Amino acid sequence: MADEIERLPLLRLTAESRSSIKDIVVREFPLTVILNNQEVVTLLCSPANLEYLALGFLFSEGLLKNKEEIKKIIVDDKRGVVRVETRESRELAQDVLFKRLITSGCGRGASFYNAADAAGQKVESKLQISAGAIFALVSDFQHRSQVYKTTGGVHSAALCDREKILVFSEDIGRHNAIDKIFGECLLQDIATKNRIIITSGRISSEILLKVAKRNIPLLISKSAPTNLGVKLASELGVTLVGFARGRRMNVYTHDRRVVTGGK
Amino acid sequence: MADEIERLPLLRLTAESRSSIKDIVVREFPLTVILNNQEVVTLLCSPANLEYLALGFLFSEGLLKNKEEIKKIIVDDKRGVVRVETRESRELAQDVLFKRLITSGCGRGASFYNAADAAGQKVESKLQISAGAIFALVSDFQHRSQVYKTTGGVHSAALCDREKILVFSEDIGRHNAIDKIFGECLLQDIATKNRIIITSGRISSEILLKVAKRNIPLLISKSAPTNLGVKLASELGVTLVGFARGRRMNVYTHDRRVVTGGK
């Protein structure tokens, strides 16, 4: 965690007083991801688990299909570069890369408004969980959000089963936090199917799609969803929970997976 | 505002109860920006002031230099497209567009880690404002954040002078909210020099650079800055205020512009 924050001098002002203090801010680090010698993207991220972020990003964007494909990963954290080489050094056509980069931009995700792209992605899972178990997971999630507590500047994400948090990550970007989870799952052979993602961030269509691609049947957010997030959750078979705070939550879609009661 | 939200059925769950209600969520709308018949980006945004967003985005990305350049703007809000034509229909080289899109991605901004790009951008301004006046502006800003209050899902931004809010905008994206302001300023001939931006969102390097490019000497956020945001503010001559809440704030850089006392 030490690398993820920095202590800076600043002036604390109220209407009446003025004091010079030192306080911590979260670090922002530019990470360039290179796949088979082609620069794919520069992500602004928290400088931890760069390898997981690079892999998770490539995985989420469909540029990496599975672990077996990976031949070599070289992390240069001084220069902020992760190089990934695959066994078959397929050349990404410039226009494929170009299109991908449009959709991975600020408005990343344009492509999936195309029904053909979303089709075949429907999440099938018999997972069921009690409301009480969700409140317990969210409470644990809250307690683990360290960097946020000290700096107010990061998002958290977690992969869980019905009982506990399995993988936890933090990043200044809500996309990055989730990509770090999926990168870790890919590299460490941790299954995502039938499991649960919790995020501190908003559920936009892009987040929903990223999670549905990993066959996650239940997505829980402490924040709000957008209407497109809800629409895609409904179409793709994902149970979407928003505003999970304290002992209360909103279930927007496929509520059969959440049963009343529980611990 | 009606278009920016949608009413949806959902299940409100506590550990003991389960009730079907209707509640509102914020809308997320894909807007494609086309410049001289070239598709530049698809932004996911709140569906209001699409024209301002498209212009502000092009302006911030350096693809549009001034108002005089604009020959025609066609807004097709059914299909989610804004077409901008400039007088000189300069062809954007594919690789320029390609590079730009990398830097406008999730990690948009890679380019400005290049000192040459940041140089010459330094903001010169004799603006001074009292702490009390900042608290008054932030309080007014709070009161105007309508959509956030009802859905918890948007960011707000405002352009101010020392006395009042001049332009206000809301969007699901913190970049978009600021781009909408700059688009409106461009089209309506509203000066940004020597003025103030308030944002509800985090100050990352990208936000800082966007604001510095418009010659804004004072950037105020209700949230946290990142270390790169602070570093760039210091280098580019921007006074950066974070955690402006109630009657308290942190001034990270160039604190000469904020004086004690005031209304």
The pLDDT assigned to A56 comes to 97
Cα A5 to Cα A139, A153, B243, distances in angstroms: 24, 10, 17
**Chain A partners of B171 at a C-beta cutoff of 8 Å?**
none
Residue A239 has pLDDT above 50, yes or no: yes
Q: Using the predicted structure, report yes or no on whether residue A211 has a pLDDT greater than 80.
A: yes
Q: Which residues of A are catalytic?
A: 106
The pLDDT tens digits for B234-243 are: 999 999 999 9
Is the Cβ of B16 closer than 8 Å to some Cβ of chain A? Answer: yes
A90-108 per-position pLDDT tens digit: 666 554 554 444 333 333 3
The partner residue sitting opposite A205, judged by closest CB among B44, B103, B206, is B44
A27 CB within 8 Å of a chain B CB: yes
Is residue B263 less than 8 Å (CB to CB) from chain A?
no
- The pLDDT value recorded for residue A147 is 73
Fold identical between B29-118 and B129-259?
A: no
B62 touches chain A (CB under 8 A): no
Percent of chain B with pLDDT over 90: 75
> If you measure CA to CA, which chain A residue comes closest to B105?
A105
- A223 CB neighbours in chain B (<8 A) are 152-153
For testing contact with chain A, the best of B22, B100, B106 (most A CBs within 10 A): B106
Mean pLDDT of A103-123: 47
pLDDT at residue A105, as a whole number: 34
Which has more pLDDT, A13 or B103?
Answer: A13
Kindly report the pTM of this predicted structure: 0.90
Measured in degrees and rounded to the nearest 5, phi and psi for residue A219 equal: -120, 120
Q: Domains of chain A: which residue ranges?
A: 29-114, 129-259
Q: Which residue has the higher pLDDT, A96 or B11?
A: B11
CATH number, domain B29-118: 3.10.20.10
Q: Which residue of B has its CA nearest to A80?
A: B110
pLDDT digits (tens, 9 = 90+) for B72-90: 999 999 999 999 999 987 6
pLDDT tens profile B17-52: 899 999 999 999 999 999 999 998 999 999 999 999
pLDDT at B105: 34
pLDDT at A115 over 70: no
CA distance A176 to chain B (A): 9
Tell me what percent of the residues of chain B surpass a pLDDT of 70.
Answer: 87
Is the distance from CB of B243 to CB of A152 less than 8 angstroms? yes
Q: What is the pLDDT of residue A150?
A: 75
Q: What does the pLDDT average to over B245-258?
A: 95
Residue A261: closest CA among A132, A134, A128, A129:
A132
Domain B129-259: which CATH number of 1.10.3720.10, 3.40.140.10, 3.30.230.10, 3.30.43.10:
3.40.140.10
Query: pLDDT tier at A184 (50, 70, 90 boundaries)?
Result: very high
CB contact under 8 A, B223 and A152: yes
- Mean pLDDT over all residues of chain B? 88
Q: What is the pLDDT of residue A158?
A: 98
Integer Cα distance of A254 and A220 in angstroms: 13
In contact, A178 and A157? CB cutoff 8 Å: yes
Position B168 scores a pLDDT of: 97
Cβ distance B44 to A109 less than 8 Å, yes or no, reads yes
- Pairs of residues, one from chain A and one from chain B, whose beta carbons lie less than 8 Å apart: 227
Q: What's the pLDDT tens digit per position in B108-149?
A: 333 444 443 554 579 999 999 999 999 999 999 999 987 777
**Is B187 a residue whose pLDDT tops 90?**
yes
Share of chain A above pLDDT 90, in %: 74
* Tokens 């939200």, located at residue: B5
ipTM of the modeled complex: 0.87
pLDDT digits (tens, 9 = 90+) for A46-60: 999 999 999 999 999
> Taking 90 as the threshold, does the pLDDT of residue A242 lie above it?
yes
pLDDT tens per residue across span A132-179: 999 999 999 999 987 777 777 889 999 999 999 999 999 999 999 999
Rama region for A120: left / alpha / beta (φ>0; ψ in -120 to 50; rest): left
pLDDT, position B102: 39
Coil vs helix vs strand at B213: helix
Task: Tell which CATH architecture fits domain A29-114.
Answer: Roll (3.10)
Catalytic sites of B, residue numbers: 106
| Secondary structure letter of residue B113 according to DSSP | G
B190 min Cα distance to partner chain A (Å)? 26
**What span, in angstroms and rounded, lies between the C-alpha atoms of A59 and A62?**
5
Q: Which of A25, A105, A226 sits opposite B224 (nearest CB)?
A: A25
**Residue of B4, B6, B7, B10 for testing the chain A interface, max A β-carbons within 10 Å:** B10
**Quick check: B220 contacting A, CB < 8 Å?**
no
Query: Pick the residue with more confidence: A4 or B248?
Result: B248
Cβ contact (<8 Å) for B225 and A153?
yes
Six-digit token pair at A214?
Answer: 């990993």
Instruction: Give contacts of B 181-200 with A, CB under 8 A.
Output: none
More confident residue, B263 or B143: B143
Cβ atoms B221, B201 nearer than 8 A: yes
More confident residue, A262 or A77: A77
Residue B173 has pLDDT above 70, yes or no: yes
